[in-house]
Amino acid sequence: MSRPTASTAFLALLRRDFLLAYRRRAELLQPLVFLLVVTSLFPLGVGPSPQLLASIAAGVIWIAALLATVLSLDSLFRSDYEDGTLEQMVLSGQPLAMIALARIVAHWMVAGLPIVLLSPLLALWMNLPQEGTVVLIKSLAIGTPVLSLLGAIGGALTVSLKRGGQLLSLLVFPLYVPILILATSAVSSAISGLPYSGQLGLMLAGMIAALTLAPFATAAALKLSLS
């Protein structure tokens, strides 16, 4: 039997991941419900003043998105690690970076994309002006893949630990600082009527850089975790 090509393997992995995600729908909903709950706590905590909410909206939604992503990252490689699938993937002879990328893409589709889709609702809650909402959605669309890409490195580094979740957040949050800064500043520029394409452009550059580098770092981390 000949070995399947890398692209066949990539698509097969994606299909498998989507199927697994579909079978565990309830588990996937948890981070999203978490996102809703955390965001709704802010108006309760800081008061319902519309101006105040509008001024902190982008930051609150983005931080809630970071928290929700990190929450879902712990399971990124864990079940595959525990039942030995990960080992078989490494032994399959397919490039491990590509396997990691397939996993990351699947993670973004089931964890990142729903955040982007939910964000208009969150923006509405937080009284974000319309021009800000559009940019917020754009920034999340560009930014959440970066969260998945960088987070995968952390997930791979902690996968062989029994309780890696807290450690994972400690590792990953500092790496998220640039994306958070750029995204929230893009939104606040948009609200004040300033150009924001620079911030989004830098975020896009960051996404491309993460897309090229993070799968390799994830692959190296997975190999270390399995050693």
Partner 1 sequence: MNPIVLFFHKTGSPPWFYRFGGKLIPWLWMAFVLLTVVGLYLGLFKAPPDYQQGESVRIMYVHVPAAWMSMMIYGLMAMMGFIALVWRIRIMEILMISSAPIGAAFTVIALITGSLWGRPTWGTYWVWDARLTSELVLLFLYFGVIALYNAYDEPRKAARVASLMAIVGAVNLPIIHYSVLWWNTLHQGSSIGAGGSSIHPSMLWPMLIMAIAFKFYYAANLLSRTRLRLLKQDHRKRWVHELLGQEKN
Number of H helices, E strands in the chain: 10, 0
Number of residues that bind partner 1 (CB under 8 A): 25
Looking only at residues 148 through 187 of this chain, which bind partner 1 when binding is defined by CB under 8 A? Answer: 153, 157-158, 160-161, 164, 167, 170-171, 173-175, 177-178, 181-182, 185
Residue linked to tokens 């699938």:
85
* Residue with Cβ nearer partner 1 (9 or 58): 58
* Residue with Cβ nearer partner 1 (175 or 204): 175
Q: CB of residue 168 vs partner 1: minimum separation in angstroms? A: 10
What is the Cα–Cα distance from 192 to 177, expressed in whole angstroms? 23
Phi-psi bin for 73: left (phi > 0), alpha (psi -120 to 50), beta? alpha
* Residue with Cβ nearer partner 1 (19 or 161): 161
- Residues 111-150, one symbol each (x = binds partner 1 by CB under 8 A, - = not), give ----------------------------------------
* Residue with Cβ nearer partner 1 (56 or 220): 220
| CA of residue 135 relative to chain centroid, distance | 18
Contacts of 71 (CB under 8 A, 6+ apart): 30, 31, 34
Residue linked to tokens 């990691």:
100
What is the Cα–Cα distance from 102 to 12, expressed in whole angstroms? 9
Do 117 and 35 touch, CB atoms closer than 8 A?
no
Looking only at residues 190 through 219 of this chain, which bind partner 1 when binding is defined by CB under 8 A? Answer: 206, 213, 217
Residue ranges in contact with partner 1 by CB under 8 A:
153, 157-158, 160-161, 164, 167, 170-171, 173-175, 177-178, 181-182, 185, 206, 213, 217, 220-221, 224-225, 227
